[in-house]
């Protein structure tokens, strides 16, 4: 690995504070980074940045900061493209765009599903996403279904 600034090849591990602003809330997330020993230029690994974004997304989900800006942040933290999320939620991609750009209020149910996906990912699960995928691909049951209360 070479430094992008000076071409140096010796690095040291340092603490880095990444700043995110969502809905006027300032988040300062401490993470690991590498600093060039020659010029002190700091580089944060993409995985570390992703973990930092997920940490902010979890906070937003847990505190129900429902807005277009937070919806976009949650979507990006999950690495969803807007049209892929729209398809998963069963809405038009224009709806996602309108929510994120504050042209229309965010649908509460859609925000809640997205927040659930963030919390699932943070817990190492895919439950909400798997259910949405199953609903998207569901076929009608054309049979006699008998159930019993246990």
Backbone angles phi, psi at 44, to 5 degrees: -110, 130
Separation CA 33–CA 16 (nearest Å): 6
Burial of 24 (0-12, 13-18, 19+ CB in 10 A): exposed
Q: Hey, what domains does the chain have and what are their CATH numbers?
A: 46-135 (1.10.260)
33 in helix, strand or coil? strand
**How many CB atoms sit inside 10 A of residue 118's CB?**
24
pLDDT tens figures, 46-63: 999 999 999 999 999 999
Mean pLDDT within 2-23: 94
pTM score: 0.86
């Amino acid at each position: 690995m070479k430094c992008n600034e000076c071409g140096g090849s010796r690095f040291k591990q340092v603490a880095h504070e990444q700043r995110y602003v969502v809905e006027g809330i300032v988040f300062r997330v401490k993470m690991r980074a590498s600093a060039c020993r020659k010029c002190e230029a700091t580089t944060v690994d993409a995985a570390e940045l992703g973990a930092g974004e997920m940490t902010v997304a979890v906070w937003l989900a847990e505190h129900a900061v429902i807005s277009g800006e937070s919806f976009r942040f949650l979507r990006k933290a999950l690495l969803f493209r807007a049209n892929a999320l729209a398809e998963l939620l069963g809405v038009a991609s224009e709806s996602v765009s309108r929510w994120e750009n504050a042209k229309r209020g965010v649908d509460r149910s859609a925000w809640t599903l997205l927040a659930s996906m963030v919390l699932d990912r943070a817990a190492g699960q895919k439950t909400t996403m798997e259910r949405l995928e199953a609903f998207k691909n569901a076929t009608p049951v054309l049979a006699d279904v008998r159930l019993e209360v246990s």
